[in-house]
Structure 1
Amino acid sequence: MQQRHRLSGDARIGEVHRRGRSAANDLLVIRLLPNGLDRSRFCFVAGKRVGNAVVRNQIKRRLREVIRNSHSRPGWDSILIARRGAGEAKFPQLERAVHNLLRRTQLNKAEPEVVDPVNPQTVTSTPEATR
């Protein structure tokens, strides 16, 4: 994953964690907050409950690869937090879990409606909405 797509800095990560909205499934939790940039940035977290260092690093590498291959909307800072079962999950399961969260939080570019991060009342439709 390119450096420009990495969310770093304790202050910003803390702000996203405190003020961001969240969604979760069995394997992952996502917290996100608008960043006002022309790109989205991601941070990956796997705590000791998930497994040993080898397992935690493997999960983070897999999540980076899924995000790298996904088409997310620009303008968001996101933290992906691995839950306890993520250590035993295979790559396709993690991939489905990430895409599920991106779709539910409207970060996926294939979503029919777009909520403007600056003005949440403004909703625009995309051509996919007519399908």
Structure 2
Amino acid sequence: MLKRDILRRKEDFDLIYKKGRSVGERYIVLFYMKNGLSYNRIAFLASKKVGNSVRRNRAKRLMKESYRFLKDDIGNGYDIIFIARNTINGKKLRDVEKSMANSLSKSKLYQR
């Protein structure tokens, strides 16, 4: 992922939470909003409810790797936030990837 592809500013997060849309799935919650750019900006989050730092980092790694498999089939021009639920603990990559694909399909961002 390039530096420009990552969401960082608090104002961007606040705007997506306030004016964006959300979709819940078994292992993740997806927030998204059009950004008016020709590329997507992404963020992966895991709160302390997910567990200690080892579990939070594993959850983020699983989401990043799942996104890497799916990114070519996602439409452009969106700000996307993936938030891990505590049910992600102990799950395999394929489970998280399936949950992510389902949430992207529900939001009509997934073009497969």
- Please confirm whether the aligned pair reaches a TM-score higher than 0.5, indicating the same fold: yes
Larger Rg: 1
1:69: Cα distance to partner?
A: 2.1
* Letter aligned with residue 23 of structure 2: A
- Contact preservation (8 Å) 1:27, 1:85: yes
Q: Which residue is equivalent to 2:58? A: 58
- Larger RCO (CA under 8 A, 6+ residues apart): 2
Structure 2: any 5+ residue segments left out of the alignment? Answer: none
The equivalent position to 1:97 in structure 2, one of 87, 95, 99, is 99
Q: Distance in 1 between matches of 2:7 and 2:111?
A: 20
1:28: Cα distance to partner?
A: 0.8
TM-score (normalised: structure 1)? 0.80
1:13: Cα distance to partner?
A: 0.9
Q: Which residue is equivalent to 1:29? A: 29
Q: Which residue is equivalent to 1:6? A: 6
TM-score (normalised: structure 2)? 0.92
Matched ranges for 1:45-84 at <5 A: 45-70=45-70, 71=72, 72-84=74-86
Greater per-residue helix proportion: 2
Instruction: Count the aligned residue pairs.
Output: 110
* Letter aligned with residue 109 of structure 2: L
Q: Is the counterpart of residue 18 in structure 1 residue 18 in structure 2?
A: yes
Q: Which residue is equivalent to 1:44? A: 44
